Each structure stands twice: as structure tokens, then as C-alpha cells.
Amino acid sequence: MSHFSLSNNHGGGRTIFVCFPDEGDDLFFVPTCRRDDLAKPYIGIRKAIEKAGFKFKTTTDGSGLSDVAAILSITHISTPFLQNILKHSNSKCFLVIQEPPVFRPEVYNPHLKRFFRTMFTMFDNLVDNRTYFKFYHFQARDKMVENIPGFADKKFSVMLQSHLKSPYPNELYSERDKVAQFFANSDEFDLYGRLWEGTPNWRGYFNEDKITLIKDYKFCFCFENMKNQVGYITERIFEVMFSGSVPIYWGADNITDYVPKDCFIDRRDFSSYDDLYRFLNSIDQTRYEAYLTAIQNYLHSPQFEPFSSPDRFGKHIVDTMVSILQHQAHF
């Protein structure tokens, strides 16, 4: 990308401020500050900003900012922050929406257009390339882990997700409950995650690397937070694929636009958990290894590329921002 200068006649600055106050500056500089290499995409944002010729700085609440080329908020919309960025044109303010409405409904409030002219979303139906621009959920890895146990050495199934609740009609939290209830008296299922204390088969928190844990299982339940939507695909299905396990997925209605059907088991294909369980038990080693081969082929294919690099997420966000800023500088 070529560098450019936003003229002061257009109110330009040389600094892009990023607001993500929960974890501080380490998130953008220290790869190990998040488990599973999940700091890498944020480091990619910083690198992309600097490569584009801007200074990179963080802000916790948007106060006292000067030399502002742009302000990038990562799902942060606290009242003090919004009040402070009103001092700057909304054409300089960008919002990355990482959470679905079942978890953060406030980030979908139309009034946010007053503060942010440009927002990034995973939901395909919102993308208009005027206010809402598509982004793909960042993946910290791009290939399957090594030393995967053989079919006969793997345990049966696992789920690693928090035990949450939501009044939103399309939530999938209650389906995680149903999975845990179905396997409550079984030794073929292990459950990890926050807020499941006292639930049968709960094995604790997954403080270790998720990939290392999942690879010991044949199947992993990986439900998004939300169903009946298009394009909202997070790290869940990919973590399972990187682990050399087979995902049992429910989430985006158009998942096969992004991931081939032979790479995962679609929960929607079964009328009940009894039917799903019978299908899982029917899978022999040959069929199981066919899933893993399909996953390997996908992870090395152009179809996976939008998700494929920790740096790609940051580059895409910053390239889009710079293009918009360039356009505005000419008017």
C-alpha cells in the first residue's frame, strides 16, 4: 500500500487511535498475552496501521486525542467513549463489531451511525459497502496441528464453550444445554468452560491451548452464539479443524458458502440428538479420515484464504479505512 498524507485542510492527522480497553496495549504488541495465539490478529492491526504510514496509539475512552487521522473501536461503545469521539467527525470513526446481537445487542443500535460512519460486520445481510463492510473473523492459525492421535486412540466427543443465557430468539446457548443434558449419564462426552460448575461431565476450565485439548477427541460440538443468520462465522469451527477433530456445527445458515459440507457435521441435518448420536456412532475409521482429508484440502484451498492469516484481518480493516479516508480527503 502506498503512503499518503491527509492534508490539514481536510482536518487530517497522522495518528490512528485504537480503542479496545479491556486488555491494554499488550494485546497489540505481545503475541503470548492471549491464549491460542489470539493476540496475533490485533498485532496485525498495529502493523498494518504503521505500514500505511500512520502512527499507532491506543485509547481507553477517546479523551484528549490530537493529530487524529482516524479512531478505530473494536466493539467498544461505552457512553464516555461515544461522548468523547463526538468531538471528531464521524467520518473518521470506525467500529469493528465482533459480537452478535444475542450477546451485545447494543452494538447493532442504528443510533451508532451518529458516531461511526463506517462499521465492519460479519453478517452478510448487513453489508452494503457504504456504512457496513464485511470482515472475516480472524484465525490465529492456518493449518492442522501435528501429532494427531489415531481414530482408535481418540475419545468420543467434547464441547468447550461458556454456559451463557440470552432472551434473544435466535440464541444457541440453550442448545449447548441440550448437548450437556443429552450426554449427562455418558462417558462419551467431556464438557469444558465457564459457568458449568456442577454439570455432569464438566471437566473444568480450558486453561491450556484449546487445540491441544480438542485433538484428543473424534468430534467437537462448536455452536455459534446465534442461529438463523448469514455470514457470522467465528473461530469455533476452525479451531476444531485445526485440531484434527471433526466439527459438529450450528450457526450460519450459509456455512457451506464458506466451508465445504464434507468438512463438518451439520447439526441441522438431524431431527434430534438421538439421531445425531446414532450417526456419529456409525462413522468408521475410513469415513472419519475422509472428513480429515477434506479439512486438510480446505485449509490449503483459496476458499479458506479470507480466514487464513492473522495479518489478513488487520490488513483488510486498515486497507478499507485508508481507502475511505483517501476518498474523503478529495472532497
211, 160 contact by CB (below 8 A) = no
Q: Report the range out of 35-44, 95-104, 308-317 with the highest average pLDDT.
A: 95-104
In a domain, 2, yes or no: no
CA distances from 10 to 7, 30, 92, 186 (A): 5, 35, 11, 65
Question: Is residue 38 pLDDT above 90, yes or no?
Answer: no
Residue with the bigger pLDDT between 169 and 115: it is 115
Cell readout for 162 is 461458556
Helices (H), 58-125: 79-85
How would you label 135-163 residue by residue, b for 16+ Cβ within 10 Å and e otherwise? Answer: bbbbbbbbebbeeeeeeeebebbbbbbeb
Whether 167 and 252 map to the same domain: the answer is: yes
Say if residue 101 is in the same domain as residue 180: no
Residue 2 reports pLDDT greater than 70: no
Same domain, 31 and 61: yes
Q: Report yes or no on 146 lying in a domain.
A: no
How far, in Å, CA of 201 to CA of 197, rounded? Answer: 10
Write down the mean pLDDT value for the chain.
Answer: 92
Say how many CA atoms lie within 13 Å of 33 toward its Cβ: 15
User: Are 68 and 212 found together in one domain?
Assistant: no
The type of residue at 121 is T
pTM of the model: 0.92
Residue 272 lies in a domain: yes
Indicate whether 269 and 252 sit together in one domain.
yes
Assess whether 241 and 322 both reside in one domain. no
Count of C-beta atoms within a 10 Å radius of residue 95: 24
The answer to whether residue 317 scores a pLDDT higher than 80 is yes
Asked whether residue 298 is domain-assigned, the answer is yes
Q: So what's the pLDDT on residue 32?
A: 83
Position 1 in a domain: no
> How many domains in the chain?
2
What does the pLDDT read at residue 139? 86
Over residues 142-196, the pLDDT tens digits come to 889 999 999 999 999 999 999 999 999 899 999 999 999 999 989 999 999 999 9
> Does residue 3 form part of some domain?
no
Confirm if 244 and 145 have CB atoms less than 8 A apart: yes
| CATH number for 300 | 3.40.50.11660
Report percent pLDDT > 70 for the chain.
95
Q: Specify the DSSP element, H or E, that contains 238.
A: helix 236-242
Mark whether 315 and 302 lie in a shared domain. Answer: no
Residues 21, 51 within the same domain = yes
Shared domain for 61 and 122, answered yes or no, is: yes
Q: How far apart are the first and last CA of the chain?
A: 21
Q: Which domain holds residue 52?
A: 8-140+309-329
pLDDT band at 330 (very low <50, low <70, confident <90, very high): low
The x, y and z cell numbers of residue 331, run together, are: 472532497
**Burial class for 198, CB neighbours closer than 10 Å (0-12, 13-18, 19+):** exposed
Same domain? For 80 and 161 the reply is no
Fill in the amino acid letter for 172: L
Asked whether residue 48 is domain-assigned, the answer is: yes
- pLDDT-derived band at 1 (thresholds 50, 70, 90) equals very low
pLDDT band at 207 (very low <50, low <70, confident <90, very high): confident
Say whether both 162 and 298 belong to one domain: yes
Whether residue 145 is contained in a domain is answered as no
Question: Does residue 101 share a domain with residue 17?
Answer: yes
CA-nearest of 246, 248, 255 to 228 is 255
Quick check: 5 pLDDT over 50?
no
CATH code, 15: 3.40.50.2300
264 pLDDT more than 90: yes
